[in-house]
Structure 1
Amino acid sequence: MRLHRLHITAFGPFGGTQEVDFDDLSAAGLFLLHGPTGAGKTSVLDAVCFALYGSVPGARQGGSLRSDHAPPGTRTEVKLELTVAGRRLEVTRQPPWQRPKKRGAGTTTEKAQSWLREYHAPAGSWKDLSRSHQEIGEEITQLLGMSREQFCQVVLLPQGDFARFLRADAEARGKLLGRLFDTRRFAAVEQRLAERRRAAETRVRAGDAELLADAHRMQQAAGDLVELPLPDLAPGAPGLAEAVLEWAAIARSTARERFTITRCAQSATESAQAAADRVLEDVREVARLQHRFAEARERAARLEERSGAHREDRTRMERARKAEAVAPALGLRDATGAEHRRAADAEARARAQLPDTFTDAGATGLATAARKAAEELGGLESARRGEHRLAELATARQALDRQERADDDVLQDTEHWLSEWETSRAGLRTRIEEAQEAATRAEQLAVQRDPARSRLSAARLRDQLAGDTDEAHARVLAARERATDARAHWLDLKEQRLAGIAAELAAGLVDGEACAVCGATEHPVPARKVEGHIDQRAEDAALAAYQSADEQRTEEERRLGVVREALAAATAEAGDTPTGRLAEQAAELERRHAEARAAASGLHAAGEALRQAEHEHGRRLTAHQEAAVRGASRAARKDALARETAALEGELAQARGSAGSVAERAAQLERLVSTLTEAADAARVAADTAQRLKDADARLADAAFRAGFDTPQAAADALLDDVAHRELQRRLDAWQQEEATVRAVLAEAETAAAAHRPAADVRAAEETAAVAVRRVREAASARDAASRRCTELDRLTQRATASVRRLGPLREEHDRVARLATLAAGTSADNERRMRLESYVLAARLEQVAAAATARLRRMSAGRYTLVHSDDRAGRGRSGLGLHVVDAWTGRERDTATLSGGETFFASLALALGLADVVTDEAGGVRLDTLFIDEGFGSLDDQTLDEVLDVLDSLRERDRSVGIVSHVADLRRRIHAQLEVVKGRSGSVVRQRGAG
């Protein structure tokens, strides 16, 4: 991959459009990217990453990519031209942004856009490939063979990350290598094996728990039959299945023996029960016959006592049968008498309602008077219709009077309202005009208010940042002093240690072994450590303190630069006007704007009031006209009603006579006709019933004489009603039936013979039979319980056996998966180095990286240092990711964390270049022709710096170009191709100088 050109517009600190020609910079092989803190050196690298992957490196994600210095109408854009895999491509990306609206105030959101083009050499033109974010990202990732994380680690070499990598433990190294070489699949294998082990263990334990539950059910089914306790084993314990099945076999055999015993006992009790039942049956039969004979003797005695009453019942029955011949005549006489009484009462009531002139009139006279009254009533029909019409006319006149009063009220109200209409309308129009003027004034003040607010906010921020700048400057001075003191302390300790280094070397001398310095095998007077000797640990601690203080100084200087830039921006926006003055101006604008808005808020209400008033004007004008029209038509209607009323009143005065009204006269006649008719009918009915009563008395006297009774009353007394007749016949029949039954029982030979035997003892026989039944029931219950116990034990045993068969493959799978999971996780006893599967893969990658880095590290260190990979365990942790450095001067191997600052830099640089080679090879051999190295050169002396630059310069042999990001002033003299980033009040700009 080779970069050609980069165009940046409104991105990061760059307010305008900047162009970087990497072809010109790369001609010399090495080029320098420098500039003051906060100018935007890193933003150039961010732009490259954003163009390729659509996002910036992980540590700088989440913020806005748009430049605060860019004009509102300029869109943020990054365009990168590069060659990868033999194809020349151009990638353009525009993040989403808030642009000003084309019409009106405010902003609107523009979506993110991307373009991918390829240069077609034969045609000499660019060809569009895609405008999809996803397609462009997949195409770039496939061509480069690296993810965004790998690109940022390999192409944009972050020296600080690799310095930490050298000092980190195995866990931290594993995280970085895992991101670069994407070993997540191996970690996923470890996790999958662990999940499968847990799942298999869960299934085995669940199966064992189910087996133990069945064992407890068998124990409950067996009860106290088996004295042997259940095996005391937990789920998952070895031998659980065999112990449960063995206990189940013992329980089943014991239960079958108990079942055989209960079955024999049941047969014996059933035989005893049959014999007791036969004896009980014989005793009950004798007792029944004895009771039957005694009961018959008692019934015969009771019949003899009631014989007199029986003879009286037979005599009464004979007289009742004779009286039945007189019953029809008696019924006719009673019905006729009752009918005559009702007719006489009705006649008396009817005559009591007649006038005195009709008291002695007969039925015929009453009927004649009724016909005359009905004829007079028929003549009043037309008069009644006229009277009804007269009432309707009166109601109509009342309705007309009410309408006239209502119309008078309407006319008075509308005339008063219409007289004030013009004044009200003029007032409403004035309100509308005033509200419209206030709305225009509010819009003008709103335009002036927003800039005033912005200036006020900027002034307050300016005042705050002025104080923050003084505090930040003081912190910078303090941090510089602390860094200077710490460096001086470290250099003092280093000088003291070098002075006593002989004592340290002498501490490792052994008689007979060669000295590492002079090679002698005898050591007559080795140096001794003096009091206050400075060792490696104290020097390293002082170095760490100095590095921490230096980092703190750098951070405080960066913060001071940020605060100063923010202060300059706030001062440029707010000017020199005091904050109080700006606050007064903003408050005055707010007050005037609020007053104008309050006055303008009544515009809608005033317009609505005018519309309602105009609608009300039209309604009232229409009501006034309609009321006038109704008054004219009402006068003619009232005259016609008056004429018709006068004509009807004359006719009705003649028809009603002395009555109050025609209806009252008609009601009098209707009552008189009804009363006369009812009295005539009642008189005729009373005469007819009197004659029928006389005939019925004669027939009753003749029927009583023929039946043998002296008087009709005697026949009536002898007559029985249905209930009494049935009761008397029932008593006579019951007497005869009881007499025949008693004679039959006393004549039975078997019953008489049983009566002469001793009294039967039924209770004793029943008790004996009950005892036999209870014993049979107890024996059957015991047999059923034993049978159920056997059945339940057989069922649970079959279930437990099936569970054991089912658990066999699960146990085998669990053992196999557990061995694999512990081996992959590094916890197995077979894994001697406790190395995880992912660590094993990463160790192989680290070994390749160390080999590739050593080739450059030896050259940078003049052949002194070599990086080697180690599988040894560190402390109690796991092994596989150890990294050591071999010092050729001492011949010893030590941890990379013991390297000094300069040694750490070129070791980390060699490691970064080696890692780039390995990742490149793994990505399919994609050439990385452009690399960037970020800072760290300030820790090198002149000789080491020359050696490092020689190594970087040698990359040109592979047609590579390397960009160095550094503040070191000496590099500006050594490297001629430079890209300088210059910051200013309106944003940063780039200045490029080629190798020539």
Structure 2
Amino acid sequence: MRLHRLTLTAFGPFGATQEVDFDALSSAGLFLLHGPTGAGKTSVLDAVCYALYAAVPGARQSPGATLRSDHAPEGLSTEVQLELTVGGRRLEVTRSPAQLRPKKRGDGFTQEKAQSRLRERGPEGGWKALSKSHQEIGEELAQLIGMSRDQFCQVVLLPQGDFARFLRADAEARGKLLGRLFDTRRFAAVEERLAELRRGAEARVKAGDEQILALAQRIAQAGGPAATEAAPPTVRPGEPGLAEAVLERAALTRSAAREHLAIAATVLAGAEDRQLAARRSLEAERERDRLQQRYAETLRRAEALEERRPEHDACQERLERARKADRVAPALELREEAERAYRAASDGLDRARALLPPELAGAGSDQLAGLERRFQQELYALDAAREAEERSARIAEERVRLNREARADEELIRDTDAWLADWDTTRTALKARIDAAQEAATRAEQLAGQLAPARRRLDAARRRDALATDVQQAEKRFAAAREQELDARTFSLDLRERRLRGIAAELAAELVAGEPCAVCGSAEHPAPAGPGDGQVDRAAEEKALAVQRSAEEARARAEQERGLVRERYATAETEARGDDTSAPPTVAELGTLVDRLADEHTEAHRLAAGTHAAREALTVAEREHAGRLEQRQEAHGRISARTAAREALDRDQIRLAEQIAAARGESASVAARAGELTRRVALLAEAAEAVRAEQDADRRRKEADDRLSDAAFKAGFDTPRAAAATLLGAAAQRDLQHRIDAWQAEAAAVADRRAERDAREAAELPPARPERAESVHATAEWLLREAASGLVTARDRCAELDRLSRRVVEEVRRLGPVREEYERVARLAGLTAGTSADNERRMRLESYVLAARLEQVAAAATARLQRMSSGRYTLVHSDARTGGRRAGLGLHVVDAWTGSERDTATLSGGETFFASLALALGLADVVTEEAGGVRLDTLFIDEGFGSLDDQTLDEVLDVLDSLRERDRSVGIVSHVADLRRRIPARLEVAKDRHGSTVHHRL
């Protein structure tokens, strides 16, 4: 990989566009990149790294840091462009970070995204665009370069400070650096994977052992008393011998449980015999007690039966007399019914005679019937007159109805004539109302279109007035922040210049007698410089630099806030102005305009809302006009027809009045005469019927008396009254019969039970004692249940122990392969992790791989270190353990003058520099080979040459100059003044208040 040209614009300390021609610098093979401290030498290398990887080296890629130059004007964008040759292809990569740029319209800033472009130069010399994608460009360059950003920063941009720390670092720190460079994560992943497999296998073994122990505990619980005879296992989960101990204890527990089962069976047989004897004795006692109680109860029932015998005889006699009286009952009921009928008929006759005239009070039924027929004939004659009277009433009602309708039609005609007289005026007014509503709707639409923009302008004017104060405050804050930034930058630069003037005193303060000077290399210090007035130390300079950076950040924030406030103010002012090109209106003017438009719009909207109602009113009025015309015409026709009908009704009324007067006689009306005759006919008919009913009832009563006397004599009673006194109801007779039957049934039952022989014989024996027999039987039953329960428990215990023992055997067999796998994986994991006894040096797998790489790096570095040290020093890899730590990444230096081997941490400052330089170059060679043999034609070495004496410096430069044998170019980054004389090709970086600049010195 060879660099050709680098262009930096507004990057880091470079405020303007700067160009670095690496082709011109590389023509000499060795070139110097120098300049004062803080000028931006390292920023040139940062730009190269940013162009290739879109990021600067890790230590300078801090969160919140910006790559944009503080010296750059607002309109100049930050950009880095690098032209290089890699993999035989001439490429040009251009990158711009995310940054703020001024808005194209209005004030303020907007965020611009990061951009990347990649071009390739063809054989004809033209450039061809390849991609604008960050991801595609990154993948393309990473594939061509063959190194990650960390590897590139270690191999191409050789940071001497890092390698000096690498020489003095312990094995762990070296492992981290080498791991990033050689990407040994796969070996660390192997270690972690084996450790994970070991943990998983160990967990499965412990889970299996815990399962076996859980089964052992369940065997102990299931064994009960038999389990106490077997000693519990003392082996813990994960320890060997656990399975054998559990199997042994299970066998002992099963044997003891079987012995307990045999004993339980013997106990159950004895309990069954005792329970059978007790049950038979209890049954015998209960039977004797039952027979004795039965015989005693029979004697008690016989005595009670004799006491109830007189009552039984009285009931039997009373029942016989009641059954004789039942033969007289029908005649008694017939006599009573005839008596009730006669009384009812007699009462009806008295009521009917009271309503008749006095002269008819003693009339018979024939006389009353004759009068009824005469009045009925007269009533039939009044039917025609009644119909004429009803017709006359209807004619009168019809005349009233015709008069009422005539008055209504006359009123309708008068009202219609009055309404039609105002029709033209009403129609004109309704049409005018419709026209006014339509004009108001049009006006409302126009006002609505003017009101919304006016309201937006009013809101914008209010925001504009509120933002005016914010703009003034933001301007003041920005001016103050800018002044503070300038003061802080001036003060910081002043302190830096004062410190540089007094740097000799600061270096003299670090001198130690007998040790070489870091500047001249001499071990003698005859006249060290002393501090002058106003001496500035590093702490003061760093504090001033921190204050400067804080001020710069405050200025940037204030500038951004000012831009945002300006943008919002301009937007609000534009909205408030609207289409008006005159002076911006005030809030009061816009408020007055909005209020006026709102009032006019409200009034117009109110008037426009009546359009539909006005149209409906006109339609209703036109419909009513047509209806009234039609009603007036119909009313005139009804009046003509009604006059003819009234004349015909008058003629019918006269004829009917003559007919009615002849029929009603002295009554008020025909209906009154008919009503009077109807009442007379009804009274006469009712009285005649009452006379006939009374005569019939008296005859039936006499016949019932005769039949009752005859029935009482035949039943054996002297009089009907005596038979009625003896008569009983059906319920009373059933009750007597039930009492008689119950006594007879009880007498038969007592006779049967007194004839029982076994009860009589049991009564002659001593009294039975069933309670004692029940107690003996209950005890025998309890003993039997206990014995049966003990046998079932013993059987279940044996079955459960057999089942659990089989499960233990299955678990032991299943756990065997798992335990073997665990032992195998644990050995491998311990070996790769360096914790196994087989790994004598306790070296991890990743450390072992890195040790091989470190050995290659030491061999490559020794070839240059011997030349730099005139054959004195050699770097060797050491895998010895130090201080009880793990071995593998030790690095020693062999001194040919003394023949001793010592740690690299014991090297002096100058020795450490050229040793670290040799190590960096050797590491570059190894990493290059690891990356696929990518050719590195451009290298950079950053700082460290100030610690070398003249002779050593010449030897180091010779080694670097020898790199040109492979057509390489080496750039040295240093501010050592003697190098400017030794290296003619130089790139000078100068700084001033307006930003740094680069100058080629060829």
Q: Is the pair's TM-score, using the shorter chain for normalization, greater than 0.5?
A: yes
Paired AA for residue 42 in structure 1:
T
Aligned counterpart in structure 2 of residue 90 of structure 1, from 89, 92, 99: 92
Paired AA for residue 849 in structure 2:
V
The C-alpha deviation readout for 1:199-244, integer Å capped at 9, x for no partner, is 2222222332332232223323333442454234432233333222
8 Å CA contact 2:893–2:903 kept in 1: the answer is yes
Percent identity for Structure 1 against Structure 2: 56
Give the distance between the partners of 1:252 and 1:922, measured in 2 at CA. 69
TM-aligned CA distance change 1:338 to 1:968, over 3 Å? farther
* TM alignment of 1:289-308, pairs within 5 A: 289-308=291-310
Range 467-476 or range 771-780, more displaced:
467-476
* TM alignment of 1:813-832, pairs within 5 A: 813-832=821-840
Q: Which residue of 2 aligns with 1:34?
A: 34
Q: Which residue of 1 aligns with 2:729?
A: 720
Give the distance between the partners of 1:473 and 1:227, measured in 2 at CA. 94
SS in 2 for 1:179: helix
* TM alignment of 1:580-979, pairs within 5 A: 599=588, 602=591, 608-619=598-609, 706=711, 708=715, 710-711=719-720, 715=724, 718-720=727-729, 722=731, 724=732, 726-979=734-987
Deviation at 1:431, TM superposition (A): 10
Give the distance between the partners of 1:630 and 1:344, measured in 2 at CA. 81
Give the distance between the partners of 1:286 and 1:164, measured in 2 at CA. 117
Q: Which residue of 2 aligns with 1:456?
A: 476
Give the distance between the partners of 2:968 and 2:944, measured in 1 at CA. 21
TM-aligned CA distance change 1:139 to 1:305, over 3 Å? same
Range 961-970 or range 223-232, more displaced:
223-232
Q: Which runs of 5+ in 1 are unaligned?
A: 350-360, 397-406, 499-535, 575-584, 652-668
Deviation at 1:162, TM superposition (A): 1.0
Deviation at 1:164, TM superposition (A): 1.3
Q: Which residue of 1 aligns with 2:177?
A: 176
Paired AA for residue 44 in structure 1:
V
Q: Which residue of 2 aligns with 1:185?
A: 186
Paired AA for residue 541 in structure 2:
E
Range 882-891 or range 605-614, more displaced:
605-614
Give the distance between the partners of 2:692 and 2:195, measured in 1 at CA. 120
Aligned Cα root-mean-square deviation (Å): 6.1
Give the distance between the partners of 2:43 and 2:945, measured in 1 at CA. 20
TM-aligned CA distance change 1:924 to 1:589, over 3 Å? closer
TM-aligned CA distance change 1:156 to 1:294, over 3 Å? same
Paired AA for residue 800 in structure 1:
V
Paired AA for residue 933 in structure 2:
G
Deviation at 1:891, TM superposition (A): 3.1
Deviation at 1:187, TM superposition (A): 1.6
Give the distance between the partners of 1:328 and 1:940, measured in 2 at CA. 162
Give the distance between the partners of 1:436 and 1:267, measured in 2 at CA. 109
Deviation at 1:305, TM superposition (A): 1.9
TM-aligned CA distance change 1:319 to 1:191, over 3 Å? farther
8 Å CA contact 1:325–1:703 kept in 2: the answer is no
- Is 1:288 equivalent to 2:290 in the alignment? yes
Give the distance between the partners of 1:458 and 1:140, measured in 2 at CA. 42
Give the distance between the partners of 2:536 and 2:178, measured in 1 at CA. 26
Paired AA for residue 283 in structure 1:
E
Q: Which residue of 2 aligns with 1:273?
A: 275
8 Å CA contact 1:155–1:932 kept in 2: the answer is yes
Deviation at 1:736, TM superposition (A): 3.2
Aligned counterpart in structure 2 of residue 311 of structure 1, from 307, 310, 313: 313
Deviation at 1:700, TM superposition (A): 7.2
Q: Which residue of 1 aligns with 2:153?
A: 152
Deviation at 1:913, TM superposition (A): 0.7
Deviation at 1:837, TM superposition (A): 1.8
Q: Which residue of 2 aligns with 1:23?
A: 23
Q: Which residue of 2 aligns with 1:507?
A: none
Deviation at 1:780, TM superposition (A): 0.9
Q: Which residue of 1 aligns with 2:649?
A: none
8 Å CA contact 2:463–2:572 kept in 1: the answer is no
8 Å CA contact 1:77–1:93 kept in 2: the answer is yes
8 Å CA contact 2:322–2:726 kept in 1: the answer is no
Greater Rg, structure 1 or structure 2?
Answer: 2
The count of corresponding residues between Structure 1 and Structure 2 is: 889
8 Å CA contact 2:156–2:938 kept in 1: the answer is yes
Aligned counterpart in structure 1 of residue 239 of structure 2, from 234, 237, 240: 237
Deviation at 1:592, TM superposition (A): 11
Q: Which residue of 2 aligns with 1:256?
A: 258
Give the distance between the partners of 1:477 and 1:485, measured in 2 at CA. 14
Paired AA for residue 183 in structure 1:
T
Give the distance between the partners of 1:497 and 1:100, measured in 2 at CA. 53
The C-alpha deviation readout for 1:258-303, integer Å capped at 9, x for no partner, is 1101101101111222222233333333333333333233223222
Give the distance between the partners of 2:392 and 2:339, measured in 1 at CA. 39
Q: Which residue of 1 aligns with 2:655?
A: none
Deviation at 1:883, TM superposition (A): 1.6
SS in 2 for 1:848: helix
| TM-score computed with the length of structure 2 as normaliser | 0.73
Paired AA for residue 925 in structure 1:
G
Deviation at 1:480, TM superposition (A): 6.6
TM-aligned CA distance change 1:906 to 1:727, over 3 Å? farther
8 Å CA contact 1:7–1:79 kept in 2: the answer is yes
Range 476-485 or range 160-169, more displaced:
476-485
Give the distance between the partners of 1:346 and 1:551, measured in 2 at CA. 153
Q: Which residue of 1 aligns with 2:666?
A: none
Paired AA for residue 298 in structure 1:
R
The C-alpha deviation readout for 1:431-464, integer Å capped at 9, x for no partner, is 9999788778779889988875664333212343
Q: Which residue of 2 aligns with 1:203?
A: 204
TM-aligned CA distance change 1:712 to 1:794, over 3 Å? farther
Paired AA for residue 244 in structure 1:
V
Deviation at 1:954, TM superposition (A): 0.8
Deviation at 1:338, TM superposition (A): 11
Aligned counterpart in structure 2 of residue 556 of structure 1, from 536, 541, 558: 541
SS in 1 for 2:835: coil
Q: Which runs of 5+ in 2 are unaligned?
A: 352-367, 413-425, 560-565, 577-583, 640-645, 647-670
Give the distance between the partners of 1:322 and 1:958, measured in 2 at CA. 161
Range 191-200 or range 488-497, more displaced:
488-497
TM-aligned CA distance change 1:439 to 1:231, over 3 Å? closer
The C-alpha deviation readout for 1:143-190, integer Å capped at 9, x for no partner, is 222112111211111111111111212111111111111111222222
Deviation at 1:627, TM superposition (A): 8.5
Give the distance between the partners of 1:346 and 1:978, measured in 2 at CA. 161
TM-aligned CA distance change 1:715 to 1:988, over 3 Å? farther
Deviation at 1:852, TM superposition (A): 0.8
The C-alpha deviation readout for 1:860-913, integer Å capped at 9, x for no partner, is 222222222222223232222122222333333222222222222221111111
Paired AA for residue 488 in structure 1:
A
Paired AA for residue 252 in structure 1:
R
8 Å CA contact 2:447–2:597 kept in 1: the answer is no
SS in 2 for 1:494: coil
The C-alpha deviation readout for 1:498-541, integer Å capped at 9, x for no partner, is 9xxxxxxxxxxxxxxxxxxxxxxxxxxxxxxxxxxxxx9xx9xx
SS in 1 for 2:513: helix
Paired AA for residue 478 in structure 2:
A
SS in 2 for 1:964: strand
8 Å CA contact 1:704–1:715 kept in 2: the answer is no
TM-aligned CA distance change 1:801 to 1:496, over 3 Å? same
Deviation at 1:779, TM superposition (A): 0.9
SS in 2 for 1:894: strand
Paired AA for residue 22 in structure 2:
F
